[in-house]
């Protein structure tokens, strides 16, 4: 008896095994087979095309970088969606931190600085916060096509 779902799962498992040993062609097949669904899922949450594209790009970078662990993956679709979900949640955490940071900066602008030392201290503090924010979720460069 023909089972289309089983055939897809078998094909996915074969592609996963090939990616696990570094086969870039298998990776490209998985990317072209799954990127639209991952993009749509991420876009449903972030509602911003640029952000969605960047997050999807990070999904496939993480997928490739963790390829040696793919032998333990039982479902390609679930694995990619879990990566996408986690990266999307990380994105929202970063946005929340940035929003709080900028609110803090804005509120400080209303308070006069009493001395040069306090002003220098405030500038150093601002630099530390910006460095910490950049370390939380570094932006990726380049782009991937969806199609």
- Could you give phi then psi for residue 34, rounded to 5 degrees? -120, -15
pLDDT for the residue numbered 117: 74
pLDDT digits (tens, 9 = 90+) for 34-85: 999 999 999 999 999 999 999 999 999 999 999 999 989 999 999 999 999 9
Cα dihedral sign for 140, 142, 146, 147? negative
CA distance 86 to 83: 5
Q: Which residue has the higher pLDDT, 31 or 125?
A: 31
């Amino acid at each position: 008896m023909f089972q289309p779902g089983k055939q897809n799962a078998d094909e996915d498992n074969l592609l996963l095994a090939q990616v696990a040993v570094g086969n870039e062609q298998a990776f490209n097949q998985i990317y072209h087979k799954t990127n639209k669904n991952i993009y749509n899922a991420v876009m449903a949450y972030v509602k911003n095309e640029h952000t969605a594209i960047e997050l999807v790009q990070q999904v496939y970078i993480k997928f490739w970088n963790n390829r040696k662990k793919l032998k333990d993956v039982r479902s390609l679709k679930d694995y990619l969606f879990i990566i996408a979900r986690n990266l999307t949640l990380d994105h929202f955490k970063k946005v929340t931190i940035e929003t709080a940071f900028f609110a803090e900066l804005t509120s400080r602008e209303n308070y006069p600085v009493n001395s040069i030392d306090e002003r220098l201290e405030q500038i150093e503090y601002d630099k530390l916060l910006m460095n910490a924010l950049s370390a939380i979720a570094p932006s990726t460069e380049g782009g991937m096509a969806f199609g």
